[in-house]
Amino acid sequence: MITKLTFGRTGHASTKTIFGAAALGSVTQDEADRTLDVLLKYGINHIDTAASYGESELRIGPWMARHRKDFFLATKTGERTYQKARDEFHRSLERLRVDSVDLIQLHYLVDPHEWEVAMGPGGALEALIEAREQKLVRYIGVTGHDLTVARMHMRSLERFDFDSVLLPYNYVLSQNAEYMADFNKLFAICQQRNVAVQTIKSMARGPWGDKPHTHATWYEPLTDQKEIDTAVNFVLSKPGIFLNTSGDIRVMPKVVDAASRFNADIAGADAAKAAAELELTPLFLH
């Protein structure tokens, strides 16, 4: 089984490895159901999806009648205005077949102009606050990609007291001094305020480039179990963060298997040394 960690101020004991349900975006219901079996096998109790993840919410919906109580359920809206975000969120509830979710997140909020719209009067944040007041959701978070994401998340936390943040973290990014300076500042703020920190892109080998796309991820993922073990050990060796699984149902079981075997006694330096031997390239150049 996978170690649990309290998900920030929510009080929920989430598995340190969270199911990234982007993996369900373009699969059949049978494939999705087999994925649920993997989650139950390893005791994964936290699902992270989004309105923009293809058919993901629709694939999760049939599980909820029997398994809603088994999962902390999170989704996201990429809309920036109040009405569009409100409409999208209510659509997510319908697709997920639930009356409420545990966490709703402003999705990929890094562009300064979009940030001003979403966080300003008549913006998406107002819709999420309204949903919380109506008890349609309990917590509100913010997510993002790119090298400026940690800086933007700090700006977001200055404007609103978010319950969680989500951003990339892997060995290659750990070697980017500017990114890690921002990441560590953000992490310190989150620790002080008891804000949950979720990480993504831990299984990224690098951009696809000219290679054929053999997996559902927008980047080329690690696929060898030993390499995945190394990447998982590297991320989980940093205390206090969550690892969201890769967006491919074939890679995901290897990630959760690695997480189930994670040994907290492995020093971060050892994990970094092993990760340095992998042939990884940066996903984000600006």
* Statement: residue 271 has pLDDT above 80: no
pTM recorded for the entire structure:
0.96
Query: Which tokens hold the place of 243?
Result: 């690892």
81, β-bridge pairs: 123
Which residue ranges form the domains of the chain, and what is each CATH number?
A: 13-276 (3.20.20.100)
d(CA 199, CA 137): 22
DSSP output for 139-208: EEEEE--STTHHHHHHHHHHHS--SEEEEE--HHHHT-HHHHHHHHHHHHHHHHHT-EEEEE-TTEEE--
Per-residue confidence (pLDDT) for residue 269, from 0 to 100: 66
Per-residue confidence (pLDDT) for residue 274, from 0 to 100: 73
Structure-derived torsion over alpha carbons of residues 203, 109, 196, 237, reported in degrees to the nearest 10: 30
Using the structure block, give the residue that is written with the tokens 């990447």. Answer: 231
Nearest to 181 by CA among 155, 141, 148, 204: 148
d(CA 22, CA 60): 11
108-132 per-position pLDDT tens digit: 999 999 999 999 999 999 999 999 9
Band the pLDDT of 218: cuts 50, 70, 90. Answer: confident
**CB-CB contact of 167 with 183 (8 Å):** yes
